[in-house]
Amino acid sequence: MQIVKENPNVIKLAVEVLKHGGLVVFPTETTYGIAADATNHKAIGKLNSYKKRPAGKPYSVAVTDENMATKYVNLNNTARNIYQEFLPGPVTIISKGKNKLAKGVESETGTLGIRISSYPLVSQIVKKLGVPVTATSANASYMKRPYKIGDILDNISVKQKSLINLIIDAGELPHNEPSTVIDTTIDDPVILRQGGIKFKDKNGILSRSGENTENLAKELFQKYEGYLGKRPIIFALTGEMGTGKTRFTKGLGKVLSIKDEIVSPTFNLVLEYGKLTHIDTWRLQNTEKLNTLGFLKMIEDKNIVIAIEWADRFIKEIKDQREHALIVWVKIKYGKGVNERLISWEVI
């Protein structure tokens, strides 16, 4: 591992390292990021080991401009408008990918997050390399946001250190929020992570298919998964019969790499799939307590993800656990079109 102070010659060095499948820690306008050649399978494998990422979590990539982006993603009008208004800058824009990058960069559903950094060094490296690099933050998953090199090195193992080939040190960066993440693949663009750039605060989308609903579940999970390990995550699902509460949970199953088919737990009340527990309170009598299903015991596990269908039947019992669990309240309503659903959410 080589640590170099930021200087004009470092670009050439970084490009050499990246070309050989190496990992480079670099400064951006948000935090320190870690770059791998996004077209190189081995480099992405190495990055996965470094980040200790759960399978199924994609990486966003840095490109130089909108033109370069169109080689890797299909931009719709919504995306183009946001590009023009906010890029370069601390915004990650998710579009439908063209499957031209190494496996694991795009999401399992084929979407890809694009960044165009306003930090000149990043674009210079990408321009010289000619292909996108990953633009994920340089911390291992769930660790402290890295604003200085010490933040990274103090929190990783010897093995992880050995995976980094080059660190470009620009001193301590201003403590900016991470990038704002916007998904433009769903008709109403949806903000998946609120960073420094504020959009109109709107946490609802129109889902046009069961697949859309599954994707939203995956993205919501990824938005909050940083809490896992510290607190369990509860997705409290409400909505009429047939709106897609089980479908939403299927999305959670996918992002958690659960191989079993996620089916309706109406009959059994509780179905367990490793890290994911799926509860259906529909058959449960109102005067009954959710805890008769072992709810409190379940949330002692800080790594558990729980989806509760018909959560509105036990609002108080769930809300009472706010201090012990991250609770995402998800409301699904029938839309006008046959397959349309209005889905909104809030952390309570």
Q: Which of positions 298-337 make contact with other proteins (CB under 8 A)? A: 334
Q: Is 293 in the site for other proteins (CB under 8 A)?
A: yes
**Can you name the residues that pair with 345 across neighbouring β-strands?**
330
Other residues' Cβ atoms within 10 Å of the Cβ of residue 346: 11
Binding string, 224-243, against other proteins, x = CB under 8 A? ----------------xxxx
Question: Considering beta carbons, is residue 81 or 267 the nearer one to other proteins?
Answer: 267
Q: Which of positions 166-185 make contact with other proteins (CB under 8 A)? A: none
Binding string, 103-142, against other proteins, x = CB under 8 A? ----------------------------------------
Q: How far is the CB of 328 from other proteins (least distance, A)?
A: 22
Q: How far is the CB of 204 from other proteins (least distance, A)?
A: 20
Question: Considering beta carbons, is residue 88 or 265 the nearer one to other proteins?
Answer: 265
**Residue corresponding to tokens 């080589």:** 2
Q: Is 288 in the site for other proteins (CB under 8 A)?
A: yes
Question: Considering beta carbons, is residue 103 or 316 the nearer one to other proteins?
Answer: 316
* Chosen residue from 158, 159, 285, 316 binding other proteins by CB under 8 A: 285
Q: How far is the CB of 27 from other proteins (least distance, A)?
A: 47
Cβ pair 163, 46 in contact under 8 A: yes
Question: Considering beta carbons, is residue 261 or 323 the nearer one to other proteins?
Answer: 261
Taken in order 27, 33, 38, 40, the sign of the CA dihedral is: positive
* Chosen residue from 42, 289, 319, 322 binding other proteins by CB under 8 A: 289
Q: Count interface residues toward other proteins (CB under 8 A).
A: 30
Instruction: End-to-end CA distance of the chain: give it in Å, rounded.
Output: 44
**Can you name the residues that pair with 343 across neighbouring β-strands?**
205, 332
Using CA atoms, how far residue 64 sits from 22, 89, 118, 130, 224, in Å, is 20, 11, 10, 9, 29
**Residue corresponding to tokens 């579009």:** 95
**Can you name the residues that pair with 190 across neighbouring β-strands?**
183
Question: Considering beta carbons, is residue 86 or 248 the nearer one to other proteins?
Answer: 248
Question: Considering beta carbons, is residue 75 or 330 the nearer one to other proteins?
Answer: 330
Other residues' Cβ atoms within 10 Å of the Cβ of residue 85: 10
Token pair in block for residue 49: 């080991």
Other residues' Cβ atoms within 10 Å of the Cβ of residue 10: 20
* Chosen residue from 9, 287, 323, 336 binding other proteins by CB under 8 A: 287
Q: What is the dihedral of CA 244, 249, 225, 203, to 10 degrees?
A: 0
Binding string, 241-280, against other proteins, x = CB under 8 A? xxxx-xx-------------x-xx-xxxxxxx--------
Q: How far is the CB of 182 from other proteins (least distance, A)?
A: 29
Q: Is 297 in the site for other proteins (CB under 8 A)?
A: no
Cα–Cα distance, 258 to 268 (Å, whole number): 19
Cα–Cα distance, 251 to 339 (Å, whole number): 17
Question: Considering beta carbons, is residue 229 or 242 the nearer one to other proteins?
Answer: 242
Cβ burial of 9 (10 Å; 0-12, 13-18, 19+) is: exposed
Enumerate binding residues for other proteins (CB under 8 A): 240-244, 246-247, 261, 263-264, 266-272, 282-289, 292-294, 334, 338
